[in-house]
Amino acid sequence: MTVSVSGVYVAQTKQGPSPVVVLSDHKGRILPIFIGPTEAASIEMAMLRAKPQRPSTHDLIVSILRELNTSVESVTIIDVINGIYIGRLLIQLGGTSTGIDARPSDCIAVAVRASCPIYVKESVMNQYSISKESLPESANETLVGS
């Protein structure tokens, strides 16, 4: 299932405020993935096309891949194990596609920079997504743009 990045937000949790990246599909489902503050800032900067004075780690990854004549084909959220999302970065290297295990937040940060598709396995969307319509009004208030 192809998804897009709807935004990066701060959500109120029992442990306090936490960054979350929200993915959405054409069926109106959203998939919130809690991430670290550094990754949240990186995704947000890439979405805004902001140019930092020095490259971030995700900028560096994309630059290295380009210099090696390797392209990022896509990223996929493939599973959730013990409450942890599992991501795969698919790169094209010498005519061969190679999948690399990665955190979804890193996958998304690279995908936004590389302008490649982001996918979520249908089984993950079916189990962990919520519809925009089912989002309680109070949840809309707790998601505040970062």
Tell me: the pLDDT tens digits for 95-108? Answer: 899 999 999 999 99
74: β partners: 90
Contact 22, 32 (CB under 8 A): yes
Please say if the pLDDT value at position 140 is more than 50.
Answer: no
CATH for the stretch 2-145: 3.10.690.10
Q: Cα–Cα distances in Å, from 74 out to 9, 92, 109, 134, 141?
A: 23, 10, 12, 29, 32
Gap between the Cα atoms of 8 and 143, Å rounded = 9
pTM > 0.85: yes
Which tokens belong to 118? Answer: 């982001």
For the stretch 33-91, pLDDT in tens is 999 999 999 999 999 999 888 999 999 999 999 999 999 999 999 999 999 999 999 99
